[in-house]
Chains A and B, each alone.
Chain A
Amino acid sequence: MCDTCGCNITPGNKHLVEAGGKLAHSADGKAAVDVLHGLLSENDRQAAHNRDHLDKHGVLAVNLMSSPGAGKTALLEATIAALKDELRIAVIEGDLETENDAERIRAHGVPAIQITTGSACHLDAHMVHDALHHLDLSQIDLLFIENVGNLVCPASFDLGHHRNVVLLSTTEGDDKPAKYPVMFRAADLLLLTKSDLLAVLDDFVPARAEQHLRRLANAAPVLQLSARKGAGLQDWLDWLRAEIAARREARQKFRAAPKLSGVLK
């Protein structure tokens, strides 16, 4: 799905989606109005607004997605413990019910906003917008959005975040990317979690998980880690540091660029 404008129309598919004139008539004489709008354009508009808001404050927003129980909250706990003296972190938690995850995060001394979605199986840009208003973005470097545990629906909704990190735990099948292509195609980083269990699991082959990811034409890095044992955490932390550095650099370049309006007379 289109991440920016929601229109989904590219020079490559234009010929497939265009039909007739702006105001054509159907065979039975009804007025037919061509629209060609992304169905989620309202969500995408809100997501763009969220991203502007985050960019203005130089916050890197990372959307964590996985099936329930893959270890998103455990990963956050380990990440906060490792980085809290280095970066100012905040978390938005998405769950159908309970404040449990937000309480786990707050116990580590960082702000956490819990969104309870009721029966909704995903977060959307409007829910995240409401949560952003409960955070002081000027005091945050890194914002994690822990999406609802679900490998299907969250992939369809842009939240205004900058990076998608998808977790696949070793107790799930290594063919999950082949089974849930929409989700794994959207990953900017794939984390194979609970790597300490690989020694006792004979049916999860990390190379096979990576192969399934590549078949989705996704070049995202694949890292193995165990949040509980700490193995492989350094590579993940370095990835986060590099993303934050890249975001800061882009922001400085943007600020340093001469304003065009003063040049064009």
Chain B
Amino acid sequence: MHELSVCQALLAQVENVARDNNAQRVDRVILRIGPLAGIESRLLQDAFPIACAGTVAAGAELVIEELPLVVRCKNCGAETAAAPNRLICGVCGDWHTQLVSGDELLLASVELTKS
């Protein structure tokens, strides 16, 4: 699956942040992921230590904050919670909706120990 490629992209960003901040060690990496990002959090958790081995982020904790799936109805304007395969309005049932939140794949923050 593609979680290892995503992890490698993540690691490249984390290494940049560590370098820019003269970090000795990366302690924690915090991601924010929506259900429609196409990323399986558990697989990312499995891939992370492998990608990080031998880098400044070796041994770092990966924290994944799951973001809610929310749609706004173009018909009635309501904002409602949705499921990945059911993005219809929770109030009027119209399928003409816009995603407000749920497809994010973000590196939120990096916690590090400075040298």
Contact = CB atoms under 8 A, between A and B. Distances in A.
Interface of A: 1-2, 8-10, 12-13, 16-17, 19-20, 24, 26, 30-43, 120-122, 124, 152-153, 155-157, 177-179, 181-182, 185, 212, 214-217, 219
B38 A40 contact: no
A182 B5 contact: no
Contacts of B23: 31
A10 to B, nearest CB: 8
Nearest to B100: A12
Given A182-B38, A217-B87, A217-B97, A13 B111 contact: no
A254 B10 CA distance: 36
Given A35-B109, A40-B9, A16 B95 contact: no
Contacts of B84: 181-182
A180 B56 CA distance: 36
A190 to B, nearest CB: 14
A179 B85 contact: yes
Contact of A36 (B2, B9, B100, B107): B107
B101 A12 contact: yes
B13 interface: yes
Contacts of A16: 32, 67-68, 101
26 contacts: A2-B103, A9-B104, A10-B100, A13-B67, A16-B101, A24-B109, A30-B113, A31-B114, A32-B110, A33-B21, A35-B109, A35-B110, A36-B109, A37-B13, A37-B107, A42-B9, A42-B12, A120-B2, A121-B1, A152-B38, A156-B37, A156-B38, A156-B105, A182-B38, A182-B84, A217-B97
A39 B107 contact: yes
Contacts of B6: 39-40, 156
Nearest to A34: B109
Contacts of A179: 85
B79 to A, nearest CB: 9
Given A30-B113, A32-B111, A39-B13, A217 B88 contact: yes
Given A13-B101, A39-B6, A34 B108 contact: yes
Contacts of A35: 13, 17, 107-110
**Which of the listed residues A9, A19, A152, A217 has the most CB atoms from chain B within 10 Å of its own CB?**
A217
Interface string B84-95: 111110000001
Contacts of B110: 32-33, 35
Contacts of B80: none
Interface residues of B, number: 48
Contacts, number: 143
A17 B72 contact: no
**Which of the listed residues A26, A120, A122, A156 has the most CB atoms from chain B within 10 Å of its own CB?**
A156
Contact of B106 (A8, A121, A124, A182): A8
A156 B9 CA distance: 13
B1 A153 contact: yes
Contacts of A24: 109
B95 to A, nearest CB: 5
A30 B109 CA distance: 12
A171 B105 CA distance: 33
Nearest to A119: B4
A124 B36 CA distance: 19
Contacts of A31: 21, 23, 111-114
Closest 10 CB pairs of A and B: A153-B2, A12-B100, A182-B38, A13-B101, A217-B87, A156-B38, A181-B85, A178-B85, A30-B111, A214-B95
